[in-house]
Structure formats: C-alpha cells, structure tokens
Amino acid sequence: MPLCLTFIDLKKVFNTVKKRAVLETLGNRIAPTQYIRIFHELYSNFTTRISPFCDGIIIDVRRGVRQGDPVSKLFTATLEDVMRTLEWDNMGVRVDGRLLHHTSQD
C-alpha cells in the first residue's frame, strides 16, 4: 500500500480544550498528584486583563492556552487521549478505494 500523508492544521485548537479534560489526562497517565494539584491551582480562577482604551476589562479564562506555551504539551496529550476514544471502524477518508483512518500527532 502506498504511503499517504495528510496534514491538518487545527487552528485555535488550544483555545478549545477544557481544563477538566487535561486534569483527567494527567490522572490517566498516572502523573504525580502534586503535578495535578499544581496544574489545577495555576489554572483555577485564572483571569486575563485587556485594556482596549483606558478602562481595563478582566476576563475569566475557562479553557485553553497559547500554542507554544510549555503547558500546551498537556493539551496535545489530551487531544491524543480523545482521538484514542473515537470509534475509527467506520470513519476515515477513502483513497483509491481504501479507508484510511489512523492518525498520529507530534
């Protein structure tokens, strides 16, 4: 079978992953409890402030991190866990009559 490659640019995907899913991933991968607790403390009650004019606006950040942030690797691990739970039997893309349905992220 010839090798077929597909690249998917998941723009803004890091903005969509909920912190609870990351905590579950950390637990599933048997991360030390202190790491899970630190992550939870860092991302609980997390806000950002923008100042479009003179008055600042405080926004409650409930999900996501910036792509390239050191924590983004945890979000990538979470996406990998989600991909593993999908039923791939009837999903995929037909190429030359064959159903391709395997993915990998780096």
The per-residue pLDDT for 8 is 64
How far CA 74 is from CA of 39, 40, 79, 90, 101, in Å, comes to: 10, 13, 9, 29, 24
The pLDDT averaged over each successive group of 10 residues in the chain (106 residues) is 65 74 84 87 80 80 71 79 74 76 57
The candidate with the shortest Cα–Cα distance to 98, out of 3, 11, 34, is: 3
Which pTM value belongs to this model? 0.55
Burial of 81 (0-12, 13-18, 19+ CB in 10 A): middle
* CB 40 within 8 Å of CB 98: no
The reported pLDDT for the residue numbered 2 is: 66
For the chain, which residues make up each domain, given as ranges? 13-87
The predicted structure's pLDDT at residue 34: 92
C-alpha distances (whole Å) from 78 to each of 21, 69, 94 are 7, 15, 27
What is the reported pLDDT for 78?
82
Q: What is the pLDDT of residue 56?
A: 82
